[in-house]
Amino acid sequence: MSKVSVIGAGSWGTALAVLLHKNGHEVTVWSKFQEEIDMLREKHEHVDKLPGVILPENMEFTTDLQRAVEGREVLVLAVPSPFTRGTSKMLKEFVKEDQVIVNVAKGVEESTLMTLSEIIEEEVPKAQVAVLSGPSHAEEVGRGIPTAIVVGAKKRKTAEMLQNMFMNDVFRVYTSSDVLGIELGGALKNVVALAAGIADGLGYGDNSKAALITRGSMEIARLGMAMGAKFETFCGLTGIGDLIVTCASMHSRNRRAGILIGQGKTMEEAMAEVKMVVEGVYSAKAAMGLAAKYNVQLPVIEQVNKVLFENKPASEAVKDLMLRDKKIEVIDAQWEE
């Protein structure tokens, strides 16, 4: 049994806290919001974000960050991506040498173009930083629906330790050393999911969505490989797997926001209606910054940016994608004379 703290009491943090407790670990959940902690203590349920998933009586809930950090082997950082840096700054004071922080949010910081693990390493240099990602809606993990996911770390022993900690008969965990590929797949699939949702909101069909998912996956892989990630990662759970589940499910806040935008709402109106952090909005601009830095074309993600931030009509964005210059799909194709 290990002592684990989940830093962030949103839907994903709550679901993972339940999972880790079922695996026999001593779990503490931290939130900066006293009213959220009071709700969890009194109701043993996150009524707003994960209704129906009951938290055990002997799980600890606190707003005291020092109490949540000290003496814990692993910290699960489960705050939304825009708050990763700020929370990491607060953690720095209490984290001990080689304490493990496993980040479970998905995003790229717009101002620096850093991945979330890079941010944590910069702010908390004492920590060993790992990532956990894959096709995994909190609503389903909280209910014990079979799920497969990947843990990425620079050191094999860290990855295998986390694999043993999280894995059970309904939560299968693979390991990987490609932390960069895992993070890029997780962050940028949210942008493609916005595009898929927009197509749904416009009333388009399965053909349209399949095209967006497929071409979007190639954009993510193209950028990732230019940055040094492995192509196989983008074919796996944290690549095409996470992309499929986020583009297809109504659990996906990014897809739901995209649907609303396709129906004519502004980005701000869509985010307000979803009532959760739509991380694809924050990663969209960062993706274009990375594309410029590494000289990679991202036509689907570029059009999403224009819809989000330049008030381009969604139907016009789709039309411009369809009417791009003619392309070949397979590079270095061997033609018969």
Q: Which residues are catalytic?
A: 189
What strands, in cross-sheet order, belong to the sheet with 100-103? 60-62, 26-30, 3-7, 74-77, 100-103, 128-133, 147-153, 171-176
Residue owning tokens 């036509």: 299
- Catalogue the long-range contacts made by 263-269 (C-beta closer than 8 Å, 24 or more residues apart): 263/201, 263/202, 264/201, 266/311, 267/307, 267/308, 267/309
**Host H or E run for residue 212:** helix 206-227
* Residue labelled with tokens 């830095």: 293
**DSSP-derived secondary structure letter, 262:** H
- What is each CA distance from 210 to 138, 200, 242, in whole angstroms? 24, 11, 14
What's CA 167's distance to the chain center, in Å?
19
What does DSSP say about strands 171-176 and 147-153: parallel, antiparallel, or unpaired? parallel
